[in-house]
Amino acid sequence: MPADPAVRHCKLGGERSTRPGLAARLGWTGLAAGGTAAAVLVAVPLAWTLRSDTPEPKLHASAPQAAYVAGGTGDGAGGQVAAPADVAGPAASQVVSQRPRQIRLPSGTIMAVRRAATDPGGELVLPGNINRAGWWDGGSRLGDPYGAVVIAAHVDSTQGVGRAAEFLSMHAGDIVKVRSADLRETFRVTSAKLVPKTSLTAGSYAYSGRGSPRLVLLTCGGTYDSARGGYQYNMVVVATPVAGRPSPGRG
């Protein structure tokens, strides 16, 4: 993940942080109680064997687990050989949704898409580079069956005019293509309009995880009043998938 001012507020960094907590919950109580048994078996140089002496509410004894390792014959097995259980795989139609990484505007202009989070004040923090866009990390991902994939970008800044200025000239029927790491999807614009900034609230359908899958492009536009926060409007472009689901393809 490149360093990007826009991801400072990102809360996704700890995606795997559930697991230490889980392990701790599962492990601590058992081990505290099983310390004695564990001490007896410490000479067995396999971590899992050591841990297998962890008493569980419903697994009372500890020794037979070692017996399984040795001979695979357990009390309940009735002398049968234990065939490995199948591990379920996803159906071929499974789409693993992913955050967008790139959009291609109707003119062919490409914008890289970074992750963007809303700051505590409620403002979406967009990439500082005006040629990049931000994907709101609380919204839908490419491949989700419902809701809005929200991508926003600066229309301008002291750097000049951004690539998102093209949003202002989009209209129904225009084609926008979106890619993630492994998926690509083509959208057709269904509406493109300027709305007063005050009317694009957090509860707006533009951000909703409900409803048909759609792409929502946001930028600023309309009248500009530096005394009243600059642009007075947001450009809201809504596009819907041309096909049912995204197709596989490297982004």
Of 13, 221, 249, 245, nearest in space to 115 by CA: 13
Q: Is 58 in the site for other proteins (CB under 8 A)?
A: yes
What 8-state DSSP symbol labels residue 70? H
Taking residues 101 to 120 in sequence order and writing x for each that binds other proteins by CB under 8 A, - otherwise, the string is ----------------xxx-
Candidates 5, 8, 20, 249: give the one binding other proteins (CB under 8 A). Answer: 20
Region 163-222 residues binding other proteins, contact defined as CB under 8 A: 164-166, 168-169, 171, 194, 197, 200-204, 207-210, 218-222
Taking only Cα atoms into account, the Rg of the chain, rounded to an integer number of angstroms, comes to: 27
Q: How many residues bind other proteins (CB under 8 A)?
A: 126
- Provide the minimum distance between the beta carbon of 116 and other proteins in the complex, in angstroms, as a whole number: 8
Q: Is 8 in the site for other proteins (CB under 8 A)?
A: no
Task: Copy the structure tokens of residue 166.
Answer: 């093209």
C-alpha span between 23 and 227 (Å, rounded): 54
- Provide the minimum distance between the beta carbon of 250 and other proteins in the complex, in angstroms, as a whole number: 22
List, in order, residues 6 or more apart from 104 with CB less than 8 Å away. Answer: 110, 111, 176, 177, 178, 179
Q: Is 5 in the site for other proteins (CB under 8 A)?
A: no
Of 157, 160, 165, nearest in space to 219 by CA: 165
Q: Is 98 in the site for other proteins (CB under 8 A)?
A: no
Task: Copy the structure tokens of residue 242.
Answer: 């041309």
Taking the mean position of all CA atoms in its chain, how far away is CA 196?
29
Q: Is 250 in the site for other proteins (CB under 8 A)?
A: no
Candidates 3, 47, 70, 227: give the one binding other proteins (CB under 8 A). Answer: 47
In this complex, which beta carbon is closest to other proteins, that of residue 2 or of residue 21? 21
In this complex, which beta carbon is closest to other proteins, that of residue 82 or of residue 242? 82
User: Cβ(103)–Cβ(177) under 8 Å?
Assistant: yes
- Provide the minimum distance between the beta carbon of 186 and other proteins in the complex, in angstroms, as a whole number: 20
